[in-house]
Amino acid sequence: MTTRRVSLPGVGVQYDFTTEHGRRLSVVVHSDGRRFLGFFDADDPDSCVLSVPLSTEEAAAMSHLLDPGPIEAVRTDGIDLVTEHIPVGSRSPYAGRLLGDTRARTRTGASIVAVLRRTGAFPSPGPTFRFAAGDTLVAVGTREGVDALAEIITGG
């Protein structure tokens, strides 16, 4: 697995990534913030077969999909609070259902403080907020509570 950074004068920077299996991906970050994700031919590593333009928001969403790690824990009055992103997958028992149906806070003690959707963010959703497959829930609570909430949402 190798990575390479190449300056593109007047354009921006290109980052190339070669996977363990020899596939090459590229991200071009333009000086104006635009980004392009490029996929290269396995037989001809210099031939880009597909280029996908990404807005800044789309690039951020993609990075969360690739690295959905939790946000650092916050220590408050002897209680460790964590904030974590929980995806609502297409197989989630709550995709298409209301937040109130989860009874999340009652069952786990964790709170859903926002929902991130491709079309925007929804802070402080109420019990009548309807989840959609592809949403990302921003949850706050104890480690145990957030883990329990993730189990409920993913159906695991």
Whether residues 80 and 129 share a domain: the answer is: yes
Note the pTM of the prediction, 2 decimals.
Answer: 0.53
Work out the pLDDT band at 15, boundaries 50, 70, 90: confident
Whether residues 31 and 89 share a domain: the answer is: no
Determine the structural domain holding residue 33 and report its residue range: 2-65
CB atoms within 10 A of CB 85: 17
CATH code of the domain covering residue 141: 3.30.70.1450
pLDDT for 7 beyond 70 = yes
Residues 105-129 have pLDDT tens digits of 999 999 999 999 988 899 999 999 9
Span of 3-12, 58-67, 132-141 with lowest mean pLDDT: 58-67
Helix segments in 55-142, DSSP class H = 56-66, 99-102, 104-108
Query: Radius of gyration over alpha carbons of the chain, in Å?
Result: 19
Whether residues 7 and 24 share a domain: the answer is: yes
Residues 30-86 have pLDDT tens digits of 877 788 888 888 777 678 888 888 877 777 777 767 765 555 545 555 567 788 889
Q: Say what the pLDDT of residue 68 is.
A: 58
Domain boundary among 65, 89, 111: 65
Domain boundary among 65, 96, 112: 65
Whether residues 82 and 121 share a domain: the answer is: yes
CB atoms within 10 A of CB 112: 22
